[in-house]
Amino acid sequence: MSENGEVDKISQLPDDALVAIISRLTWREAIATSILSTRWRHLYTYITRLSYSTLHPSERSKDKYFQQLQEKEFSKHMNETYDFFASNKDPLFLEEFKLHIPCLKGGNIKRLLPLVLEKEVESIDIRIIYHNKAMPGYYTFPRKTLINRKGGDLGLFPGLKSLRKLSLRSLHVDDRDVELFVSNCAVLEHLSIVGSYRLEKVSLVGHSKLKCLEISSSRNLVSIEVHDMINLVSLTCYKIQHRYSHPEYSIFLHNVPKLVEFNASDQRHVLGHILPGIASPVLDQLLHINVVSTEISNHCILPPLPVLNNLKHLKLQVNCMDGSRAFLHDFPRYWRCPSLQKLEIKLLWMSFEVYDDGYHALLKDLHETGMSTIKPRSHLKEVTLSGCIGSPVDLSLLFIIIKQAVALETLIVEPCQQTPEIRQRAAALAREYLKQITPVSTNLIIM
């Protein structure tokens, strides 16, 4: 009972419930609970979710904040983190370990990661946040440290035997790191490596549990090879930045019978080079594709994409620049999906050109030319267009979709999330335009 006579119902909960509650806090907040009462004094030592962050979200882009953090707090904070973890012998099991720190001197992951892997940990999430004062490549994966710690046998770490999810963002790993680490993680299901500039030729063979694989933002990547992964469901390759000597990376997939989802960026239109290189049986497995596309030039000759015979769900995110109509001419490139049922398009505008009377001739021309080769599609049932501003691009795109999707059941139009004035105008223009061409059988929803 508290000093004012109220019953402390939380403290009456069993230890397991209290540990589950404080495991959702940061380690500093968890330690602070020890002063509540003798009932709470040692509970923090049993937490199963450890989260460390030295960054305040509102300060992440301010150089002055990073400089002050480096000079006064960062090294001390990381030393306290290490001491806490080293002294926290129990529990031997960790549900999650999360470390989000800036790229400053003193993080010393070489000391901390071996301690984490000495426990049976299910999820590891390490993120290095870069900024203007950061030292590129400062943090690298401590493979040699880990190997030396166990006399050359990584498999002796309990954490590698229990690890199910691994996310490394801007912690630089090389091809050998990935190969050795993954081969020793027998139950690993989710692997995400983002922002490593040391990756060149990623090769993953024979892992029976891996379901989701992401290799993104790796500017020196040449190839990804995946063989004999019988449970792989999803492959993600966003923002692969290419060296001049390797303008396109390659993907080799073999014996991935459950792969149904592919997520990628179409920078420099590399999908026209990558997808045709994937064996047809694998392409025919794909049911979901998510493409983030850069702006298309009106004069750019694009490589064609292969026909995706069984694709059911296509998501496109497109950067649109001032006055651009190029996406209308590029759209058929993504339209070669005879079984498509659900289409989502998100337009990201750099400026806001809206519809007026002067665009009638342009719309008519776009409707009548360049799109006649697109055949009616009886499978397409649901379409969502977000980011609508009432321009010739999005209104013409809606026209094309309505005319081609002869069995369309639901059409959702979501105006852009800019000023209320732009949003209201876009919604009014879309409503006025679409009511003239939308079939009665189609449920039109304007958000």
Residue-level pLDDT at 189: 96
Say if residues 274 and 299 touch (Cβ distance below 8 Å): no
Instruction: Give, for 446, the enclosing helix (H) or strand (E).
Output: strand 443-446
Question: Quick one: which of 197, 196, 120, 195 has its CA closest to 161?
Answer: 120
Long-range CB pairs of 273-281 (<8 Å, 24+ gap) are 273/248, 273/303, 274/248, 274/249, 274/250, 275/305, 275/306, 276/303, 276/305, 276/306, 277/250, 277/251, 277/252, 278/251, 278/252, 278/253, 279/253, 279/254, 280/306
Q: What is the arithmetic mean of pLDDT over 298-303?
A: 61
Query: Where would I find the beta strands (DSSP E) of 176-211?
Result: 190-194, 201-205
Query: In the chain, what percentage of residues exceed pLDDT 90?
Result: 27
Residue type (1 letter), 336: R
Question: Quick one: which of 105, 186, 196, 99 has its CA closest to 143?
Answer: 196
Tens of pLDDT, residue by residue over 100-113, are 887 777 777 888 88
Q: Please name the residue that has the structure tokens 């980011």.
A: 387
Residue-level pLDDT at 133: 53
**Reported confidence tier of residue 436, pLDDT bands at 50, 70, 90:** confident
Tens of pLDDT, residue by residue over 59-68, are 555 666 666 6
Contacts of 17 (CB under 8 A, 6+ apart): none
- For the chain, the average pLDDT equals 79
Backbone angles phi, psi at 95, to 5 degrees: -75, -40
Question: Quick one: which of 191, 190, 215 has its CA closest to 201?
Answer: 215
Whether 37 has a pLDDT exceeding 90, the answer reads: no
Q: State the pTM of this model.
A: 0.84
Per mean pLDDT, which range of 29-43, 176-190, 400-414 is the poorest?
Answer: 29-43
Whether 215 has a pLDDT exceeding 60, the answer reads: yes
Residue-level pLDDT at 358: 47
Domain boundary assignment for the chain: 312-447
DSSP 8-state symbol, 167: E
Q: What is the arithmetic mean of pLDDT over 371-382?
A: 74
Provide the CA 385 distance to its chain's centre, in angstroms: 21
